[in-house]
């Protein structure tokens, strides 16, 4: 292990993190982090600001993202590293994904309004400060006194089968790998033990690897040594780079502090090598699938 911390999984206000990118980088520096990746959900909006702050502090910065995908087994998050994130086609795809989510939020508010529930879209957007999700609509419902708690707001209005439920724009893990690869990034499955778990992963990995999957998040926030060993075995078996990070969103949101889970320097070296090797290849372009009709 190194005498400095490495954190390859963090969030800022560009998605659902609490700190602005520049502040997050400062906090990371204070926590001893010297290699940092910013991995906001479906957005690289915070990357330029974070990169500049990192340069000033002497932190090695990796532009990243975390793309939310859905499968029949549940949600799967795909991290992407060393993205050529300024590519227009890549940004266009991300905008479409975020717009779809925002429209989803907007539609939920419309449905609620139609039923005489007076919450305002502007307020939901304010609460979100970035990508709008159901929790923000729930928050607005609680704030306006239509539910006692977020849980109740979901149960009464927002869950599947409820009056204001609106289907979501779905991306598969395969789509996310293709999208990240199209921007010359390295796709890495985030917190693989949340879902789908090792058995389903083993079935999926051959196809995902063929599409360009580069790594598996092994050294993750709350994972134990036994869980790491299990994931390391899987990573070796499929020649995937074991990566790691805190999944920091701000104080009190996730249990692991910035740089709080040790990540070996070898993870970074291997990612750098893989990124360099791929930078000479021309990746296939990416086309977004149609939104789910569900």
**Residues whose CB is less than 8 angstroms from the CB of residue 293 and which lie 6 or more positions away in sequence, other chains included:** 167
Determine if 261 is a binding residue for Zn ion (CB under 5 A): no
**Cα-Cα end-to-end distance for the chain:** 47
**Tokens in use for 96?**
């479409």
User: In the complex with Zn ion, which residue's Cβ is closer, 76 or 275?
Assistant: 76
Stretch that binds Zn ion, among 53-61, 117-125, 129-137, 183-191 (CB under 5 A): 183-191
The single residue among 38, 53, 59, 77 that binds Zn ion, judged by CB under 5 A, is 77
Closest separation in Å from C-beta 69 to Zn ion:
10
Distance CA(149)–CA(141), nearest Å, equals: 9
Minimum gap (Å) between residue 162 Cβ and Zn ion: 25
Which one of 8, 47, 93, 190 is in contact with Zn ion (CB under 5 A)? 190
Q: CB of 132: closest distance to Zn ion in angstroms?
A: 17
Task: Pick between residue 190 and residue 231 the one whose CB is nearest to Zn ion.
Answer: 190
Is 228 or 247 the residue whose CB approaches Zn ion more closely?
247
45, 49, 70, 247: which one binds Zn ion (CB under 5 A)? 247
Please name the residues in contact with 236: beta carbons below 8 A apart, sequence gap of 6 or more: none
Pairwise CA distance, residues 290 & 35, whole Å: 37
> Which of 91, 256 has the CB closer to Zn ion?
256
Q: How far is the CB of 47 from Zn ion (least distance, A)?
A: 15
Tokens at 234, concatenated: 């899987």
At residue 61, the 3 state secondary structure works out as strand
Q: Which is nearer to Zn ion, 112 or 190 (CB)?
A: 190
The token pair at 176 is 């996310």
Q: Is the dihedral of CA 90, 80, 284, 290 positive or negative?
A: negative
Tell me whether residue 158 or residue 190 sits nearer to Zn ion (CB atom): 190
Q: Are strands 186-189 and 74-81 parallel, antiparallel or unpaired?
A: antiparallel
Sites of contact with Zn ion (CB under 5 A): 66, 77, 190, 247
């Amino acid at each position: 292990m190194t005498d400095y911390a490495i954190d390859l999984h963090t969030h800022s206000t560009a998605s659902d993190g609490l700190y602005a990118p520049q502040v997050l980088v400062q906090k990371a520096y204070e926590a001893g982090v010297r290699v940092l990746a910013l991995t906001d959900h479906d957005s690289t909006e915070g990357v330029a600001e974070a990169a500049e702050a990192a340069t000033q502090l002497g932190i090695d910065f990796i532009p990243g993202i975390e793309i939310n995908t859905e499968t029949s087994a549940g949600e799967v998050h795909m991290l992407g590293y060393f993205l050529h994130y300024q590519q227009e086609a890549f940004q266009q795809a991300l905008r479409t994904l975020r717009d779809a989510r925002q429209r989803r939020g907007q539609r939920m508010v419309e449905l609620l309004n139609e039923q005489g529930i007076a919450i305002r879209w502007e307020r939901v957007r304010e609460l979100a400060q970035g990508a709008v999700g159901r929790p923000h609509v729930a928050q607005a419902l609680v704030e306006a006194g239509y539910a006692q708690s977020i849980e109740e707001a979901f149960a009464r209005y927002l869950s599947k089968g409820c009056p204001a439920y609106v289907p979501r724009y779905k991306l598969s893990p395969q789509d996310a790998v293709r999208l990240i690869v199209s921007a010359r990034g390295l796709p890495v499955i985030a917190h693989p033990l949340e879902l789908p778990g090792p058995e389903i992963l083993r079935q999926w990995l051959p196809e995902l690897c063929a599409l360009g999957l580069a790594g598996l998040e092994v050294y993750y926030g709350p994972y134990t040594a036994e869980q790491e060993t299990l994931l390391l075995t899987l990573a070796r078996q499929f020649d995937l780079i074991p990566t790691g990070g805190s999944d920091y969103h701000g104080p009190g949101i996730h249990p692991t502090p910035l740089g709080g889970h040790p990540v070996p320097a070898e993870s970074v070296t291997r990612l750098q090598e893989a990124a360099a090797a791929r930078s000479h290849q021309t990746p296939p372009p990416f086309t977004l699938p149609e939104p789910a009709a569900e």
